[in-house]
């Protein structure tokens, strides 16, 4: 049976190689004629105010550019800092909310409010902890236009400083780099192969209007993936692209934030219990079983482990992360399996930004 595992893991190696060779990379920084609005939802982001305002204010190549910062009932000094840091730049407007609309989760409610404040041709949702190169927005919008797509999601480089971050964060990029042939997903969009990252999401206004804004994801923990699925269901096309050369972010700082962050979302990530069982089986077969077989001296286990390590190396090269971490793949997978079980055990009990999710 172990020979079947070799064939199984070989499939993911091939997918990784295909994506490595043909993944879309934004590189056209021609000046943008369209109007572009960047929506940044913020709740208790005092530590990120200066950084996000600076990274946005330095953008070039987009003459008709505006920024809507949505202060979502912050209880720290976010509001005061926003006033201080944006007052000299008329492109910034600050929308202060008292909280989410009834029946809405905080982030998507904030994005919906911000969306109604602008009439720009292109709408970009950006997380407060993302930092952009000066030409990031122009390159992202040009990529959207050049590919004649309705939305794209340039995947930022994930900064990882602590050991827990280094073990877990690269798995995000690897998960779609290894399982979805992106060029096929771009040409033949399906809900099942939708991939997106809400940290940096670019969409045409008319597409967003056609699906009634963010309303279809009003209760979604995984609003980015579900927004991409809603757009695809509406007849629109889009794809995740490699944005590590134009954007970076440190998603979580340390183990506690990782556990809370993944804890709030992983139990919703796979479409129910059946999907979760399939995901757990995939993780076991591609991360744990090869190592177990290899340790018993099974040559097929070593081959399967080698194939999966190469997929991690390929992902690391594209995402500009530490390639040496590829050799800790089984540990990363074991960590992720733990987080999935943790998420199910604490479903509906985790607080994020001071709110129960």
Full-model pTM: 0.95
Mean per-residue pLDDT, 206-224? 96
pLDDT confidence band for 346 (50 / 70 / 90)? confident
Q: Which domain holds residue 185?
A: 23-255
Dihedral over Cα of 147, 188, 234, 225: its sign:
negative
Q: Using one digit for the tens of pLDDT, what is the confidence trace for 168-205?
A: 999 999 999 999 999 999 999 999 999 999 999 999 99
Is residue 1 pLDDT above 80, yes or no?
no
Same domain, 141 and 15: no
Same domain, 59 and 69: yes
Q: How high does pLDDT run on average in the chain? A: 95
Same domain, 234 and 273: no
pLDDT for residue 271: 81
Q: Residue 62: inside a domain, yes or no?
A: yes
Same domain, 7 and 33: no
pLDDT for residue 357: 72
Q: Residue 263: inside a domain, yes or no?
A: no
pLDDT for residue 278: 94
Same domain, 243 and 347: no
Same domain, 36 and 111: yes
Query: 207, 227, 255: which is the final residue of a domain?
Result: 255
pLDDT confidence band for 347 (50 / 70 / 90)? confident
Same domain, 111 and 31: yes
Q: Residue 70: inside a domain, yes or no?
A: yes
Number of domains in the chain: 2
Residue 75's CATH number: 3.90.550.10
pLDDT confidence band for 351 (50 / 70 / 90)? confident
């Amino acid at each position: 049976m172990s020979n079947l595992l070799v064939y199984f893991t070989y499939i993911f190696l091939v997918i990784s190689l295909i994506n490595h060779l043909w993944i879309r990379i934004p590189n056209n920084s021609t000046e943008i004629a369209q109007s572009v609005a960047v929506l940044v939802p913020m709740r208790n982001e005092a530590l990120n105010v200066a950084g996000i305002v600076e990274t946005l204010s330095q953008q070039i190549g987009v003459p008709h550019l505006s920024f809507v910062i949505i202060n979502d009932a912050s209880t720290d000094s976010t509001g005061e800092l926003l006033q201080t840091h944006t007052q000299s730049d008329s492109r910034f407007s600050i929308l202060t909310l008292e909280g989410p609309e009834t029946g809405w989760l905080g982030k998507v409610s904030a994005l919906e409010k911000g969306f109604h404040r602008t009439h720009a041709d292109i709408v970009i949702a950006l997380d407060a902890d993302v930092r952009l190169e000066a030409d990031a927005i122009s390159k992202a919008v040009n990529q959207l236009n050049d590919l004649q797509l309705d939305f794209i999601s340039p995947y930022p480089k994930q900064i990882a400083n602590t050991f827990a971050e280094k073990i877990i964060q690269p798995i995000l990029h690897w998960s779609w780099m290894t399982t979805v042939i992106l060029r096929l997903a771009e040409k033949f969009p399906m809900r099942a192969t939708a991939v997106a990252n809400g940290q940096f999401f670019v969409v045409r206004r008319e597409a967003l209007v056609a699906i009634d804004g963010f309303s279809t994801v009003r209760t979604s923990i995984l609003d980015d993936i579900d927004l991409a699925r809603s757009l695809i269901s509406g007849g629109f096309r889009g794809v995740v692209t490699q944005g590590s050369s134009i954007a970076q972010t440190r998603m979580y700082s340390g183990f506690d934030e990782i556990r809370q962050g993944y804890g709030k979302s992983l139990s919703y990530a796979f479409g129910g219990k059946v999907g979760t069982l399939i995901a757990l089986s995939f993780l076991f077969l591609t991360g744990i079983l090869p190592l177990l077989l290899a340790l018993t001296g099974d040559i097929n286990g070593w081959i399967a482990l080698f194939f999966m390590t190469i997929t991690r190396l390929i992902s690391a090269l594209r995402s500009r992360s530490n390639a040496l971490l590829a050799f800790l793949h089984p540990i990363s997978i074991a960590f992720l399996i733990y987080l999935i079980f943790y998420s199910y055990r604490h479903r509906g009990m985790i607080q994020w930004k001071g709110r129960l999710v």
